[in-house]
Amino acid sequence: MPVIVIAPIAAFTIALSSVRTRRSSANLAMIGVVTSMLATLLVGWGLAKRTTPFLASYQYINLPVAFTGPVNFQGFGIDIVLRVDHVTVVALFVVELCLAGALGWHQVMGRSEPGAARFHALVSLLLFGSVGVLVSWDLAEMLAFWGIAGTATYLLLAHRWGSDLAAARARIALVLPFVTDLSLLCGVAWLYARYGVQNLTTLLPILHTNPGWTVRSLVVASILLFIGLAGRLALWPLQSWLTQTSVTAPPAALAMAQATWSVVAIVVMYRVMPVFVASNTQTLQACLYACAVAAVVAPLLSLAGNEPRRAITLLGSGLTAVGAAIVIYGFLVPNATFAIAGVACIFAAAPARAGALLAVSAIAGAMRTDDMAEMGDAWNRMRASALALGLAVGVLALSAVGAMAFALSSRSRLGVALGEAALVIALGALRIFPGVAIGPLRRRRAFEPDRVREAPPPSLGWPYWLALGGAALLVASFIRGWLDFLDGGKHPAPSVTTYVLWAAVVVVGFAIVTLPYVRDKDGALHLSAVAGAWARMAFNTGWRTVDRFLVVPVAAIAVHVDRWIPDGDERVGGAVEASGRLATSGTRLPALPVAIVLAIVLTVVVGLIAPGVFR
């Protein structure tokens, strides 16, 4: 089992120490991923016939800090607890699959990217971090791996050194996830401060029994944890670290970041949900509403604007929100068993998301534009890529169907909200295919449509296989036995009608989008562009307001303080110098008269201050 974690870090270390060329670094990173994947499959094989997880534990820090007081707080320890259960093994496989696919694609399509050794070393680090999070059962250990994966993600998204636009956009990829990661850290710290333990095996049973626990403390912890997880799940409005870098980051990096983090964060959310449940119903409901709103708003935003990678990113964000909502709802409803269906939905969506991003990046690269209004005819000119894109967006649109069938009634309010989200996701996902694949590819300045060719053959298979992997996981998410395998419980099978109903929502979405795009593609895309311009304008106005009323005044205060303190120092220095000059000039005065005057002054002062004067 430790090989799953060791393989990527070994690849990273070797890459750092001795590998310089593009090919060797790429092969090394791929070896790390494949070794990790083989170890995962081996562990999965071992797990197939048992229900208890594999467990290995190593001491990292063990520090006695007190000999008295509550026992939990007398020492501080972080254990490297590696725990692999059924959900973990599938999550590991999905992450490794996505990274392998993106790496394979990048080996061919990323040849012109600078800093190949750096890129591939960071991929190994990302794999190490994400695998570490997935197998962690100690919250401090999880935070450490989480931070490592976060650092690798930022450096991958900011990979294009020397480009002003990429550097400017990458700022948000550092700041926003760091803020949400801090929230996660604060949540874990808050829990530790109340319970003195961070191992989930020890923590979860004492949530309501530890001396001094309060509902309020659990509510605070739940909110902090939720913000931390929502940031990495890229739920609206915390998705901009992915949308802002969707064009400027290397496509493989973007695909890896989106696929990996959605899986990693949803698994962590599933694991820490008992903390949310232990708080109160209102907190769970608030988190559920936040997810439901995010599930609708993100895909709606994807309809505004014509950048296909941004649109896929937003759709993925919406879909992740649907999965997260189902996980939370599964814990909100008493005795419900369908929470795992939300996780299964994300498992299916992650490879499809990566595949769609890679396929559309290949098409955008060949057509030298990121605007769907200028794209077209990919079905004739780049059929393999267009086919992979179509398959991937199809899987993406359908991936919530199984989870919704298991979890939701179409008559409930949540059912209506998430159904709406599924409809908009279908609209948004399926408009990308006609937007790119059909219609004319027009001549532009310095661009000759006839020179557009299919991507090099070695790169073609990767998006296709990722989409197929997503499709396989999608089919699995419809099957009751898959959910039974994932969480080891028994799940009631939904009726066929329910499946058909939710699938029909997606089909309706497909029909709605097909009609305008087939009849008047330019008009439909123009409408999207106008909506995108409006959305951008609204965002810019909001940002300007924040800048005007918050950032500028606060920064101005800092600048004033920065000037005021040294000025004050100088004034104090001036006063000291003046007193020194006075003392120096005092030496030139006649000694006896000065002593007499001083004695008189002192006598008067002491006399006035003496208590007898005031009585």
Partner 1 sequence: MILLNFLAASPSPSPATVPGAGIFTSPLLLSLSIWVPVAVALAVAVMPNPRGRYDVLMKQIAFFANLGLLFILFIAYSQFQSFLPTMQYEEKVPWLTVIGASYHLGVDGPGMTMLMLSGLIGIASVLASLGIRERVRSYFCLLLLTQATINGAIVARDMFVLVLFWASAAIPLAILILGWGGPRRQPAAWRMLAYWGLGTAALAVAAMTLYAVTGGSSFDMDVVLKASITPRIQLVIGLLVLVAAATRLPVFPLHSWFRDAMSEAPVGVAVVVAGSATRLGAYLLLRTLVAAEPAAAQLLSPLIAALAALTVGYAALAALRTADLRHAAAYLALIPGGVTMLGIAAVSPIGIAGAVLSLFAGGLAAALIVGVAATLSERAQSRNLQVLGGLAPRMPTLTWLFIIAALAVLGVPLMATFASELMTFFGAFKTQPIGAFAVAAGLALAAVAFAMLLRRVLFGAPNPDAPGVSDASLGETWYLAILAGGLLWVGLFPGGPKLPGTDAPLFDPGLVNVMSAGISDIASPYTGPSPGGTTP
Using the minimum distance from each CB to partner 1, give the nearer residue, 224 or 366. 224
Q: Does 164 bind partner 1 (CB under 8 A)?
A: yes
Of 75 and 365, CB closest to partner 1 = 75
What is the length of the chain? 615
Give min distance, CB of 604 to partner 1, in A: 28
- Please say which residue, 73 or 499, places its beta carbon nearer to partner 1: 73
Q: How many angstroms separate the CA atoms of 15 and 585, rounded?
A: 72
CB closer to partner 1 out of 232 and 521: 232
Q: How far is the CB of 93 from partner 1 (least distance, A)?
A: 24
Q: How many CB atoms lie within 10 A of CB 517?
A: 21
**Which is it for strands 75-84 and 54-64: parallel, antiparallel or unpaired?**
antiparallel
Among 21, 46, 56, 69, indicate the residue that binds partner 1 (CB under 8 A). Answer: 69
Contacts for 589 with CB less than 8 Å, ≥ 6 apart: none
Instruction: In angstroms, give the least distance from the CB of 571 to partner 1.
Output: 12
Binding string, 83-122, against partner 1, x = CB under 8 A? -------------------------------x--------
- Please tell me the distance from the alpha carbon of residue 309 to that of residue 367, in angstroms, as a whole number: 14
Q: Quick one: which of 2, 18, 56, 175 contacts partner 1 (CB under 8 A)?
A: 175
String of DSSP letters for 243-307: HTTTTTS-HHHHHHHHHHHHHHHHHHHHHHHHHHHHH-HHHHHHHHHHHHHHHHHHHHHHHSS--
If you write DSSP's letter for every residue of 399-465 in order, what string do you get? TTHHHHHHH--TTSHHHHHHHHHHHHHHHHHHHHHHHHHSS----BTTB-GGG--PPPHHHHHHHHH
- List 17, 51, 52, 68, residue binding partner 1 (CB under 8 A): 68
Does 76 help bind partner 1 (rule: CB under 8 A)? Answer: yes
Kindly tell me which residue out of 34, 38, 108, 189 binds partner 1, with binding defined by CB under 8 A: 189
User: Residue 181 or 487: which CB sits closer to partner 1?
Assistant: 181
Q: Go through 327-348 and write b for each residue having 16 or more CB atoms within 10 A of its CB, e for each that does not.
A: bbbbbbeeeebbbbbbbbbbbb
Residue 60, classed as helix, strand or coil, is strand
Query: Which segment (85-93, 309-317, 394-402, 565-573) binds partner 1 by CB under 8 A?
Result: 565-573
**DSSP codes joined into one string, 192-222:** HHHHS--BHHHHGGGTTTSTT--HHHHHHHH
- Measured from the CB atom, is 561 or 583 closer to partner 1? 561
> Would you count residue 179 as binding partner 1 (CB under 8 A)?
yes
For partner 1, the closer of residues 246 and 302 by Cβ is: 246
Quick one: 520 or 562, whose CB is closer to partner 1?
562
Task: List, in order, residues 6 or more apart from 141 with CB less than 8 Å away.
Answer: 60, 78, 79, 80, 81, 132
Work out whether 405 is an interface residue with partner 1 (CB under 8 A).
Answer: no
Instruction: Please give the C-alpha separations between residue 442 and each of 367, 381, 452, in angstroms, as whole numbers.
Output: 10, 13, 11
Q: Is 155 in the site for partner 1 (CB under 8 A)?
A: yes
Nearer to partner 1, 55 or 507 (CB): 55
578 binds partner 1 (CB under 8 A): no
Q: How is residue 513 written in tokens?
A: 């989008």
Answer yes or no whether residue 162 interacts with partner 1 by CB under 8 A: yes
Q: How many residues contact partner 1, by CB under 8 A?
A: 71
Q: Is 253 one of the binding residues for partner 1 (CB under 8 A)?
A: no
C-beta atoms surrounding 374 within 10 Å = 16
Q: Which lies closer to partner 1 via its Cβ, residue 530 or residue 559?
A: 559
Tokens standing for 504?
């029909």
Which CB sits closer to partner 1, 114 or 440? 114
Query: Which 8-state DSSP code applies to residue 82?
Result: E
Q: Which of 48, 168, 472, 515 binds partner 1 (CB under 8 A)?
A: 168
Any contact of residue 554 with partner 1 (CB under 8 A)? yes
**Rounded distance between C-alpha atoms, residue 180 and residue 229, angstroms:** 7
Query: Binding partner 1 by CB under 8 A: which of 121, 143, 257, 357?
Result: 143
Site for partner 1 in 215-244 (CB under 8 A): 215-217
Residue 502: closest CA among 430, 433, 432, 415: 415
Nearest distance, CB of residue 557 and partner 1, angstroms: 8
Among 62, 201, 285, 495, contact with partner 1 (rule: CB under 8 A): 62
Using rule CB under 8 A, residue 61 touches partner 1: yes
Chosen residue from 48, 515, 518, 565 binding partner 1 by CB under 8 A: 565
Using omega within 30 degrees of 0 as the cis cutoff, is the peptide bond preceding 237 cis? Answer: yes
Q: Smallest distance from the beta carbon of 169 to partner 1, in angstroms?
A: 9
Closer by beta carbon to partner 1, 87 or else 127: 127
Among 105, 119, 145, 276, binds partner 1 (CB under 8 A): 145
Nearest distance from residue 171's CB to partner 1, in Å?
Answer: 4
Binding residue (CB under 8 A) for partner 1 from 107, 151, 240, 260: 151
Q: Is 487 exposed, middle or buried (0-12, 13-18, 19+ CB in 10 A)?
A: buried
Output the smallest distance, CB 60 to partner 1, in A.
7
Taking the least distance from each CB to partner 1, the nearer of 237 and 461 is 237
Among 6, 186, 219, 508, binds partner 1 (CB under 8 A): 186
The residue from 533, 546, 550, 555 that contacts partner 1 (CB under 8 A) is 555
User: Which residues partner with 138 through β-bridges?
Assistant: 199
DSSP 334-362: TT--THHHHHHHHHHHHHHHHHHHHHHHH
Please state, in angstroms and rounded to a whole number, the distance separating the CA atoms of residues 87 and 137: 13
* CA R_g for the chain: 30
Is residue 504 near partner 1 by the rule CB under 8 A?
A: no
CB of 385 to partner 1, least distance (A): 30
Residue ranges in 446-485 that form contacts with partner 1 under rule CB under 8 A: none
147 in contact with partner 1 (CB under 8 A): yes
Task: Tell me if 545 contacts partner 1 by CB under 8 A.
Answer: no
Instruction: Measure the CA–CA gap between 342 and 399, rounded to whole angstroms.
Output: 10
Q: Which of 45, 161, 543, 549 binds partner 1 (CB under 8 A)?
A: 161
Residue in the structure block whose two tokens are 């106008």 = 530
Q: Which of 4, 7, 98, 158 binds partner 1 (CB under 8 A)?
A: 158
